[in-house]
Structure 1
Amino acid sequence: MQFSGEKLTLKRVFNYIFGLYLITLGVAFSIKSCLGSAPVSSIPYAINLIWLVEIGVATFIFHTMLVGIEWFLLKNDFKKKHFLQVFVGVLFGVFTSISVSLLGFIPMANSVAAGLLMTMLAVFFIALGLFFYVPANIIPLSVEGVTQAIAIVTDKPFSTVKVYLDVCIVSTALILSWGFLGQLGSVGIGTIIGALLIGTTVKYIHKIHGRLTGNHVDLKKM
């Protein structure tokens, strides 16, 4: 069976599902850190707090907007399968619930040191998950879809664009939260650390993988 011009192998499917799960494990650690949400969740949480839109609906709206931006950037290169990015969020939500449940035995961070440890674990698992699932080239989450689109249009590395986009998302969430609520909302030091380090961590995982295996992984393939 062909998908995106490549044979849909068991390895591709495994890397895709495993990568998505690792990202949700990172999100679960970010929740445990008590230092702010993961960057990708910051705008939906801001929408939830400001307009009292249910978080699931806010997430759907956010992902739909990102797919629209991706469509605008790629124009004729935008593929019909990319519309499905919005609905991949449902699978992502299920995996997030599972990950949070599996980490139920870990207490919420009660100190800054513990919170920072949880944050760094979140950064690592999210970055590792991106490295696994994005190159599988099945259907990315809309945030990664937009990252790929910007990387293609600007001819910049995926990891570099990831940092810029995460910082942009977190900055927008901060502006919305402060402008409408006079507070930081779901954005904390952990959110900012994630925005700055997730893309950079992907870059180093990519480099280490290349040196160990001699293989180049295309993070812009879509």
Structure 2
Amino acid sequence: MSASKHWERRIPIYLIGMFLMTIGVNLSVLSGIGVSPIDTLPYIASLISQKSLGLCTTLVFSVYILLQIVILRRRFQWKNLLQIVLSIIFGWFVSLSGALTALLPQHPSYPIQFIYMLCSIVFLGSGIFLYVTADIMSMPADGVALALAEVSGKPMSSCKIIFDCTVVVLTVILSVTQLHNISGVREGTLIAAFGVGMCIRFWEKRMTQPLKAFLFGK
């Protein structure tokens, strides 16, 4: 079945997946016990450079696109340069979902913070699974994980865990060397680095075939 068909099914699932991801991002920020791995590098870059988080996100995502080119080489599809457009849509979704999560209690007790963090993992993992399965275009960070999966032959979920852990380690190094503290990375970040990949794997095993049948079936 051509991947160019059934846009009326794939686009809504794709956008729902992206929106679920942004809810996860905002919940991780709201938890106060570490931002999600997907946001650690832009967050620390904004602190170091004193530039806006939006600008730093664009710059970091641009590096991720370059990294995909390096990994895939001739297999890189140049249409994926349009990932920068997705970054803009993602930013708008972050603002929209941020207005929703703002309705939740702010500065809660630690048990509630931990619940926020766990919920952020579920939203991020579920969102990634949906939009990746829709097979339209990956966000830059997940594009790196997909590129690693294509080259290595390992499941995307495993490559996602490896990539997220690498990003967290790099963030800690930059934070300590440039800010002389650890900012944005706490226990929630480390748990999410493993948890998001595990959530993706959970859905891969149970929902990949039914979802693909819905998205690409007759």
TM-score normalised by structure 2 residue count: 0.92
How many correspondences in the alignment? 212
Q: How far 1:201 moved relative to its partner?
A: 1.1
Contact 1:39 1:194 (C-alpha < 8 Å) held by counterparts: yes
Q: How far 1:216 moved relative to its partner?
A: 7.8
Deviating above 2 A after TM superposition, structure 1's stretches of 4 or more consecutive aligned residues are: 214-217
Give the aligned residue type for 1:46.
Answer: I
Cα distance in 2 for residues equivalent to 1:119 and 1:177: 21
Q: How far 1:120 moved relative to its partner?
A: 0.4
Q: How far 1:111 moved relative to its partner?
A: 1.8
Contact 2:3 2:135 (C-alpha < 8 Å) held by counterparts: no
Contact 1:34 1:108 (C-alpha < 8 Å) held by counterparts: no
SS in 2 for 1:50: helix
Match of 2:56 in 1: 58
Gaps of 5+ in 2: 213-218
Kindly provide the CA deviation profile for residues 57-93 of structure 1, in whole angstroms up to 9, marking residues without a partner as x. 1111100000001011111111121101122111001
SS in 2 for 1:7: coil
Give the aligned CA root-mean-square deviation in angstroms. 1.7
Cα distance in 1 for residues equivalent to 2:64 and 2:101: 30
Kindly provide the CA deviation profile for residues 97-140 of structure 1, in whole angstroms up to 9, marking residues without a partner as x. 10010122201242221111000000001001011101211121
**More helix by percentage:** 2
TM-score normalised by structure 1 residue count: 0.91
Gaps of 5+ in 1: 218-222
Contact 2:37 2:164 (C-alpha < 8 Å) held by counterparts: yes
2:149 equivalent to 1:151: yes
Contact 1:15 1:136 (C-alpha < 8 Å) held by counterparts: yes
Give the aligned residue type for 2:131.
Answer: Y
Contact 2:24 2:121 (C-alpha < 8 Å) held by counterparts: yes
